[in-house]
A and B are shown apart, each in its own frame.
Chain A
Amino acid sequence: MIDHELMLSDTLKYIKPSGIRKFFDLLADMGDVTALTVGQPDFVTPWHIREAAIQSLERGHTYYTSNSGLPELRAEICSYMKRRFDLDYTPGEALITVGGSEAIDVAVRSLVNPGDEVIIPMPSFVCYEPIARMAGAVPVIINTKAENGFKLTANELRAAITPKTKLLVLPFPNNPTGAILEREELQAIAEVLRGTNIAILSDEIYAELTYGKRHVSIASIEGMRERTIIASGFSKAYAMTGWRLGYLLGPAPWIKQMTKLHQYAIMCAPTVSQFAAVEALKNGDDDIAGMAAEYNRRRVFITEGLREIGIEVMEPQGAFYIYPYIGGFGLSSEEFCQRLLMEEKCAIVPGTAFGECGEGYARISYAYSVRHIEEALEKIKRFVDKLK
């Protein structure tokens, strides 16, 4: 008999499954749950974008594209980056990927050698650490602090850097905390990195979803562009999660090597999605604005709603999550969320799914209608009133 477990990669075996997933498996068997768990927009992709995809199929665009992606799409991404974030990139500095997810994977694997240290601020999206580990790198976790609004500070970064540091992951606007980094904060971080050989992987997938303040990319800070690889995509801004389309932007020599990896692992991103994305970039600015305004409305609604219930929470500045403190009720995050689910049929994600530092917190997604959020808040209130 073959021992299948024994034959698997040791590194892979020791990677824990996503904590979000674990919670969802619980949820899956329960009917009629008011969930605030989803990490994707509730909007359907705008019709003109879907139509462009359908049209590309009608016209027979059913072939591979070039490995780095449709030239027209890469050109549109560059002009979009200029228009929205004042960043200068050329199509040769762009690689179209299968979502921001592949972009992150390709970037990390292309930049690190075994033993290199990768600094990862947490709480954050769950993929950075496992991907770094699979690449043989050593994750160095910085737990961002509530009193700093879950922002990465220059001091924290300085303290984490060693001669082995290769890469800093910069996950802002942040999932799950909703924290963003503003220009001065980025400048302070840039100051620490200037003169080092540390690269930055800036995950800017939520760049369009900031409220009040425009997103600033670290690549626009002096001296940072040359060491920054931006990972972004269409999932969140355009409500295109299922299309699986993202991109990397960075120095041409990096993109060239990353394209090689992408070529062997993926070949090219889905052609139909690439055609849709061209339309999204050309005519989608209004869609982004409309959806962002709606998220903003929900953001304020849920922030106030939670505070009224007596739950302490930082007002999120970006993405579509809110990260309340639920540690004051004598329950662990996991217990809180599990009991809320069992007793009130309302689902939120324990903060611990985003790193050990998430103990005491929970992630609530507001990618839901106001009515739905209202219903969930009523349930949370009933539950919390019981605990008090």
Chain B
Amino acid sequence: MEKLLHLLENDATLTHKELALMLSKEEGDIKSMIRQLEKDGVILGYKAIVDWDKTEKETVTALIEVKVMPQRDDGFDKIAEKIQNYPEIKGLYLMSGGFDFTVLIEGKTMKEVAYFVARKLAPIEFVTATATHFVLKTYKYNGVIYNSPKKDLRESDGI
């Protein structure tokens, strides 16, 4: 199960047949295992990893530290529910340490992101402070190194 998840996390385009082969299992077993994992919400989706910097599209990404008033019980979850539904927000984490939430946000321009923070995020109830950090360059994300050489480095074929 764990191996199957690792393989899929690494390459979601693997077919049932290929997975069966790599895990020495029957194709049908793989199919039903994946179905179950999807049903159980262990597998939540399948996406391509896009390096938008290599396209015409202008995007900026920012990491926002959010501080909120101290909360009891499910207080943090309630605040998270208010934040998480904005489509601009790509990631949301409850943190230990000096602040409470990390918000990962994507926008067209820095201005747009700044407006979003000021107009949408900061006014949310219990939010006491935000600090926005813009991403300047992505080296690695989701286990993928963005500018690793695509060229075949094998100079010689051996003999």
Interface residue B135 (Cβ < 8 Å from any Cβ of A): no
Cα–Cα distance between A91 and B158 once the two chains are bound (Å): 30
Interface residue A126 (Cβ < 8 Å from any Cβ of B): yes
- Which residues of the partner chain A approach B14 to less than 8 Å between Cβ atoms? 297
Interface residue B58 (Cβ < 8 Å from any Cβ of A): no
- Which residues of the partner chain B approach A126 to less than 8 Å between Cβ atoms? 159
Cα–Cα distance between A300 and B152 once the two chains are bound (Å): 23
Q: How far is the CB of A380 from chain B (nearest CB, A)?
A: 18
Determine if A296 and B152 form an interchain contact, defined as CB atoms under 8 angstroms apart. no
Interface residue B12 (Cβ < 8 Å from any Cβ of A): no
Q: How far is the CB of B75 from chain A (nearest CB, A)?
A: 41
Interface residue A377 (Cβ < 8 Å from any Cβ of B): no
Interface residue A39 (Cβ < 8 Å from any Cβ of B): yes
Interface residue A38 (Cβ < 8 Å from any Cβ of B): yes
- Which residues of the partner chain B approach A273 to less than 8 Å between Cβ atoms? none
Cα–Cα distance between A264 and B66 once the two chains are bound (Å): 68
- Which residues of the partner chain A approach B23 to less than 8 Å between Cβ atoms? 293
- Which residues of the partner chain B approach A38 to less than 8 Å between Cβ atoms? 154, 157-158
Determine if A21 and B159 form an interchain contact, defined as CB atoms under 8 angstroms apart. yes
Interface residue A40 (Cβ < 8 Å from any Cβ of B): yes
From known contacts A38-B154, A40-B154, A42-B152, infer whether A20 and B22 are also in contact, taking CB-CB under 8 Å: no
Number of interface residues of A (CB under 8 A): 21
- Which residues of the partner chain B approach A300 to less than 8 Å between Cβ atoms? 18, 21
Q: How far is the CB of B157 from chain A (nearest CB, A)?
A: 5
Determine if A296 and B22 form an interchain contact, defined as CB atoms under 8 angstroms apart. yes
Interface centre among A212, A293, A296 (most CB of B within 10 A): A293
Interface residue A197 (Cβ < 8 Å from any Cβ of B): no
Determine if B21 and A241 form an interchain contact, defined as CB atoms under 8 angstroms apart. no
Q: How far is the CB of B81 from chain A (nearest CB, A)?
A: 39
Q: How far is the CB of A311 from chain B (nearest CB, A)?
A: 21
Q: Which residue from B22, B24, B152, B158 sits with its C-beta under 8 Å from A241? A: B158
- Which residues of the partner chain A approach B153 to less than 8 Å between Cβ atoms? 44
Interface residue A127 (Cβ < 8 Å from any Cβ of B): yes
Q: How far is the CB of B147 from chain A (nearest CB, A)?
A: 15
Interface residue A317 (Cβ < 8 Å from any Cβ of B): no
Q: Which residue from B18, B21, B22, B159 sits with its C-beta under 8 Å from A18? A: B159
Cα–Cα distance between A308 and B159 once the two chains are bound (Å): 30
For residue B158, which residue of chain A has the nearest CB?
A: A39
Q: Enumerate the 6 nearest inter-chain pairs by beta-carbon distance, A residue then B residue, closest first.
A: A39-B158, A293-B22, A18-B159, A38-B157, A297-B18, A37-B157
**29 A–B pairs (Cβ distance < 8 Å), ordered by A:** A18-B159, A20-B157, A20-B159, A21-B159, A24-B157, A35-B157, A37-B157, A38-B154, A38-B158, A39-B158, A39-B159, A40-B154, A40-B157, A40-B158, A42-B152, A42-B154, A126-B159, A127-B159, A212-B24, A241-B158, A293-B22, A294-B22, A296-B21, A296-B22, A297-B14, A297-B18, A297-B22, A300-B18, A300-B21
> Interface on A for B, CB 8 Å cutoff?
18, 20-21, 24, 35, 37-40, 42, 44, 126-127, 212, 241, 293-294, 296-297, 300-301
